[in-house]
Structure 1
Amino acid sequence: MINAQAANPFGEQSKLLETVAAWTLGLLWVLPLLYAIWTAFHPAEFATRFSLTAPLSLQNFVNAWHAAPFPRYFLNTFLLVTMILAAQIVLSTMAAYAFARYQFRGSNLMFMLVLMQLMVMPDILIVENYNTMNLLSLRDTILAIGLPYFASAFGIFLLRQTFKTVPRELDEAATVEGASALQTLWKVYVPLAKPIYLAFGLVSVSTHWNNFLWPLIVTNSVESRPLTVGLQVFSSTDQGVDWSIITAATLMTSAPLLLAFLLFQRQFVQSFMRAGIR
């Protein structure tokens, strides 16, 4: 019998190259994060030089917290991502269920139009969205930031692919029990798609938590600005750029997303693997 390694002499070299590439990409990603952590926890004079004797300090976080109204920015951002996610889940669930279980005239064409939205960059629509918000007298509000993102083509696609795998026998059983279409959706389809909802929720929250350009354009007051726009305060000071305070503020802003991903990374990866094989 031919040895498997002899039959594939390039197998070990291929695995070695994959390992080297993975470590290289990992280092390229983690080095900026390590630099930010180092700079945030040390005095400003150690921002550009490394020293094992450098004293640890939380003063940069204290200075950053008092330099901008972070409580208001956190509240605005939390309200924004919650509002967008709630709207996306409701609308995407209804649309995905219709595309997955109902055959109506033009359904395939409509679904293709939905998929085409995935190829449109949101920045292209900024002018039209701004004019719409101005027409509705919604400028400088949290609703104006979130309204253009209430519908999600990505969410519709993910949920449709999941709903199509649900056996139709479950629909028939629910109908026999007297359940309406909405009851079937809520009690049968939604529970089976919980992993997909979790993965989509993490993507949606991280996307709109980090969104900068559209909130910057449509808002002009502290009362409605999210964290990403609030961070620009630290890059527009008369004293120049203080990297220690900037990195501290950045870590405070990104910490909730990092913690959420670390807590749910397994479910996140498994959800997309399940969605990809359908």
Structure 2
Amino acid sequence: MTRIGMTILGMVWSVPLIWCIWTAFRPRELATSYSLDFQFTLDNFIKAWQAAPFGQYYINTLLTVLGILLVQIITATLAAYAFARLNFFGKDVLFVIVLVQLMVPADILIFPNYSILRDLSLLDSKTGIMMPYLASAFGIFLLRQTFKTIPYELEEAARLEGCNVFQVIWNVYMPLAKPTYVAFGLVSVSYHWNNFLWPLIVTNSEENRPLTVGLAIFAQSYETGAQWAEVTAATLLVMTPLLLAFFIFQKQFINSFVQSGLK
């Protein structure tokens, strides 16, 4: 029964995606019709790409998403190693504070974050988009759980070979935690790829606007109006990279959560 229920839920979940793909490839005049004739075209994608600077939006999104992920991996790795292996005063209290951050919605921090960026003159910049997300409480927790499962004897062996703490992390912990890094990377990339409210508030120019904001402006523009064919084609352009990434790394994504003890 569980498998049947999951199959039904999966089919329900896929309905909007199937409709989006079907409409994106249909001629404009047939986009909202219910006819099942097989007329397909790529004109919707061409018109959408030409009507808005999606190339620039892609560059902006890739720079911000990958920049956030790179810094998050560095900060989360160092913090997770400290919480998993080092003993220092207040470690448990600090870790509880990190966990509390998981329960704080990011939206309630918009005003103080905006005020800080305004004082730093970082509004309407890629750095301004990235700054509030350069540390991840979820990443710290996930990597800490993985690091604690790695035998300490491996670290001792590396230290006997003359490795310092950074070499131990690079050569021992990070390779053994590869599935966890893949899972965290997918979560981080998907969240920041789809992030809309914060970039909408802090960006004003096409040079810094990400795909989500650009898509919203494109869907509301006068040139597009109610032409659902172009809108769904643009939507498909935005979400296709995430779908491909999930299908490629879904096995590592699932395994990492199983190994970390998360259900």
Give the whole-Å Cα distance in 1 for the aligned partners of 2:220 and 2:152. Answer: 59
State which of 8, 11, 17 in structure 2 corresponds to 1:33: 17
**2:35 aligned with 1:51:** yes
Q: Is the 8 A contact 1:100 1:164 kept in 2?
A: yes
Residue in 1 aligned with 2:253? Answer: 268
TM-score by length of 1: 0.91
**Displacement after TM superposition at 1:180 (Å):** 1.0
Q: Map residues 154-169 of structure 1 onto 2, 5 A cutoff.
A: 154-169=138-153
1:102 aligns to 2:82 (yes or no): no
Structure exhibiting the larger radius of gyration computed from Cα positions: 1
Indicate whether 1:179 and 2:163 are aligned: yes
Cα displacement string for residues 14-46 of structure 1 (whole angstroms, at most 9, x for unaligned residues): xxx323311221121111011101110002232
- 1:100-155: CA deviation from partner (whole Å, max 9, x where unpaired): 01111100000000000000100010000100110110000011001100000000
Q: How large is the RMSD of aligned CA atoms in angstroms?
A: 1.3
Please name the residue that 1:255 is paired with.
240
Tell me, yes or no, if structure 1 residue 82 matches structure 2 residue 83.
Answer: no
Structure-2 separation of matches of 1:23 and 1:190: 36
Cα distance in structure 2, aligned partners of 1:194 and 1:268: 10
Q: Matches of residues 113-192 of structure 1 in structure 2 within 5 Å?
A: 113-192=97-176
What is the rounded CA distance, in whole Å, between the counterparts of 1:232 and 1:103 in structure 2? Answer: 48
Q: 1:116 to 1:220 in 2, by over 3 A?
A: same
Counterpart CA distance in 1 for 2:159 and 2:31 is 65
State the distance in 2 between where 1:20 and 1:188 align.
42
CA contact (8 A) 1:234 1:241 kept: no
Task: Give the share of equivalent positions with the same residue, in percent.
Answer: 56
Contact 2:122–2:128 (CA under 8 A) maintained in structure 1: yes
Amino acid at match of 1:48: T
Q: Give the whole-Å Cα distance in 2 for the aligned partners of 1:34 and 1:117.
A: 36
Alignment of 1:231 onto 2:231: no
SS in 1 for 2:83: helix
Query: Contact 1:206 / 1:257 at 8 angstroms: preserved in 2?
Result: yes
Give the drift of 1:47: 2.2
Structure 2 gaps, min length 5: none
Residue type of the alignment partner of 1:236: Q
Q: State how many pairs are aligned.
A: 262
SS at match of 2:93: helix
CA contact (8 A) 2:58 2:210 kept: yes
Offset from partner CA, 1:228-253 (integer Å, 9 cap, x none): 00002232233632111110000001
TM-score by length of 2: 0.96
Structure 1 residues not aligned, in runs of 5+: 1-16
